A and B are shown apart, each in its own frame.
Chain A
Amino acid sequence: MEKDLVDIIMEKSYIELSANEKAELGEFCSSESEYNQMKDVFHGVEGMQFETFTPKKETKESLDNLFDSSFPKVAPIWYMSILARVAPKEKVVYRQPLVQIAAIGLLIFLAYPFFNSDVTDEVPQFSEVESPKPSTPEVKNIVVTEPAQPLEVVDVVVQSEPILVAVVPEPVLAAVVVGHSDGVWDPSTEMAFSQPASESPEMLDLLTATF
């Protein structure tokens, strides 16, 4: 509380008053005895213990409920103060400290590889040509029919599906080796055709049965 005339009266004796204070008090107390009388009253009142009041609990509870309903989802004040500092609503977005810090962080993140790349340490990379690994064909099913004339038995090698192979009479000599089931020619595998199928009708029968 700011000091006023009452405080001056309580603190100072009459002779300690300045000319201004005396002039100000002049209209209320004209003499020293009157001044001292007032001083006594003020000190007497100051020393008294006045009645103190305490509101009911219900009043506070009702106000608490009102407060909770008026400010339902407000963040804690410390959080609010931090947020208000780093992202003040009154500033444009690019001037908000939070955005500025984020922008600097992004720049550092993007610039980091440029400053930390060491060309001399690079290991030269050569292209490597992969050569196909020789695979061991698997002998699957071999069907041999007894020819009228002596025939040579030819091994038929397949990878996955059983293939019915007919042994054709002389002068057919066929060695069918299939390295790729999809029919791609592979120079590493042996494949020989000795005569057209039209010359040996048995072969056609065989093909029909196969497919």
Chain B
Amino acid sequence: MKLVKPQYKEMTDESLMIAISKGDKRAFNQIYERYSGPLLGYFMRLLWRDREKAEDFVHDIFAKIIRKPELFDPTRKFKTWIYSVANNMCKNEYKKQEVRKNTTNGLDHTYAVKDLNANVFSEVSDNQFRDEFTKSLEDLDNKHSEVFKLRHIDGLSIKEIAEVTGISDGTVKSRLFYATKYLAASLEDFNPVMNR
């Protein structure tokens, strides 16, 4: 019999979700602590760096967890599920904004990434490599850069990215390596830095 209170920091996301569905607020706080920041960053990236909108989306996604925790299937990975939900919310937003055009994973290539995403990393970048890296990443089209960011910023695996974006593993790999090669070519001059 479990008489000791659970250690929330050590619990998996999936166990926390089960606890949330039973009304455990500390489990919710733990999930919020783990994902609110990364999701805010994700929404910021996909919603034209609109902080207010991103905050609203973070609120909405966690409100969904509170109201309908049963929507989450505990046999799935929570991280994949939450990013899928976030991705779908962004897609719906694009539909609302009527900017959805010519895209393979539901995201618009032409949405205002160029201008508004210009500061994705520059806010914290204090060296030339970082600036150059940021610039190169932004020069990439959205479908390639997004996969790269999901892999390296959000920490999703190739399989998870495929689940979240609804594209095949092969396409994810293809886009990821295309982006990597592009970045490698752009940052060739920084080889010593990259080898740190």
Chain A positions near chain B (C-beta within 8 angstroms): 1-6, 28-29, 34, 37-38, 40-56, 59-60, 62-64, 66-68, 70-71, 74, 77-78, 80-82, 85-86
**Interface pair B184/A59, CB less than 8 Å apart:** no
CB-defined contacts of A29 to chain B, threshold 8 Å: 177, 181
Within 8 A of A (CB), among B149-169: 151-153, 155-160
* Chain B 5-54 residues near chain A, CB threshold 8 A: 5-6, 19, 22-28, 32, 36-38, 40-41, 44, 54
- In the complex, what residues of A have CB within 8 A of residue B41's CB? 50-53
Closest B residue to A85 by CB, please name it. B1
Q: Given A38-B181, A50-B124, A67-B25 in contact, is the A82-B3 Cβ separation under 8 Å?
A: yes
Contact A55 B187 (CB under 8 A): no
CB of B117, distance to nearest CB on chain A (Å): 12
B96 at the interface (CB under 8 A from A): no
B123 x A28 contact (CB < 8 A): no
Residues of B within 8 A of A68 (CB): 25
Of A4, A52, A59, A74, the residue contacting B59 (CB under 8 A) is A59
With A4-B157, A6-B151 given, is the CB distance from A51 to B63 under 8 Å? no
A64, B33: Cα distance in complex, Å: 13
Contact B190 A44, beta carbon cutoff 8 Å: yes
Knowing A38-B181, A60-B32, A63-B32, the reply to whether A51 touches B2 (Cβ < 8 A) is no
Which 8 pairs of residues, A with B, have the shortest CB-CB distance? A74-B23, A71-B23, A44-B194, A28-B177, A40-B194, A53-B40, A4-B158, A37-B184
Give min CB distance, A137 to chain B, whole Å.
77
Residues of A within 8 A of B5 (CB): 77-78
The residue of chain B having its C-beta at the shortest distance from the C-beta of A82 within the complex is B1
State whether A77 touches B24 (Cβ < 8 A). yes
CB proximity of A20 to chain B, nearest CB, Å? 15
Cβ of A41 and Cβ of B180 under 8 Å apart? yes
Whether B156 lies near A38 (C-beta < 8 A) is no
Q: Is the CB of A38 within 8 A of B67?
A: no
Q: Is B75 an interface residue (CB 8 A)?
A: no
- CB contacts (< 8 Å) of B37 on chain A: these are 52-55
User: CA–CA, A45 to B152, complex, Å?
Assistant: 7
User: Nearest residue in B to A59 (C-beta to C-beta)?
Assistant: B59
The residues of B with any CB-CB pair to A shorter than 8 Å are 1-6, 19, 22-28, 32, 36-38, 40-41, 44, 54-55, 58-59, 62-63, 66-67, 120-121, 123-124, 129-130, 133, 151-153, 155-160, 173-174, 176-177, 180-181, 183-184, 187-188, 190-191, 193-196
What are 30 A-B contacts defined by CB distance under 8 Å?
A1-B160, A4-B158, A6-B158, A28-B174, A37-B181, A41-B194, A43-B194, A44-B129, A44-B133, A44-B187, A44-B194, A44-B196, A45-B133, A50-B41, A50-B121, A53-B44, A55-B37, A55-B40, A59-B36, A63-B28, A64-B25, A67-B25, A67-B28, A68-B25, A70-B67, A74-B23, A82-B1, A82-B3, A85-B1, A86-B1
Q: A48-B133, A82-B2 are in contact. List 12 more A-B contacts (CB 8 A).
A: A1-B156, A2-B157, A38-B180, A40-B184, A40-B191, A42-B152, A42-B180, A44-B129, A44-B190, A50-B41, A53-B41, A81-B2
Across chains A and B, the number of contacting residue pairs, with CB separation under 8 Å, is 134
Select which of B4, B22, B159 is within 8 A of A80 by beta carbon: B22
Question: Which residue of A has the minimal Cβ distance to B28?
Answer: A67
A77 touches B22 (CB 8 A): yes
Q: CA–CA, A5 to B159, complex, Å?
A: 11
Whole-angstrom distance between the alpha carbons of A122 and B194 in the complex? 98
B19 to A: closest C-beta gap in Å: 6
- Chain B neighbourhood of A5, CB < 8 A: 158, 173
Which B residues touch A80, using CB under 8 A? 22
* Chain A contacts for B173, CB-based, 8 A: 5, 28
